[in-house]
């Protein structure tokens, strides 16, 4: 089963936030919600979104 994880620090944020989900579709709203509450991003800018996408790690186990 695949697992997706994201660390805020991986996109250059000085932030210890880390989240995991079993699908990318589940992971994205968790990231969006964090960006909104912790980083005051009501909408994630396209350039940040690109960084987020490349920072998402997929692990298989």
Q: Which two tokens stand for residue 21?
A: 């989900």
The percent of the chain in helix, strand and coil, each rounded to the nearest 5, is: 50, 25, 30
Of 16 and 61, which has the nearer Cβ to Zn ion? 16
> Number of residues in contact with Zn ion, rule: CB under 5 A?
5
Q: Looking only at residues 2 through 61 of this chain, which bind Zn ion when binding is defined by CB under 5 A?
A: 8, 13, 15, 17, 38
The C-alpha atoms of residue 9 and residue 25 are separated, in whole angstroms, by 21
Of 13 and 55, which has the nearer Cβ to Zn ion? 13
Q: Which residues bind Zn ion (CB under 5 A)?
A: 8, 13, 15, 17, 38
């Amino acid at each position: 089963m695949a697992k997706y994880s994201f660390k805020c620090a991986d996109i250059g944020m000085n932030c210890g936030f880390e989240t995991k989900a079993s699908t990318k579709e589940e992971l994205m709203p968790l990231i969006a919600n964090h960006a909104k509450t912790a980083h005051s991003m009501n909408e994630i800018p396209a350039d940040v979104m690109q960084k987020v996408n490349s920072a998402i790690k997929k692990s298989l186990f």
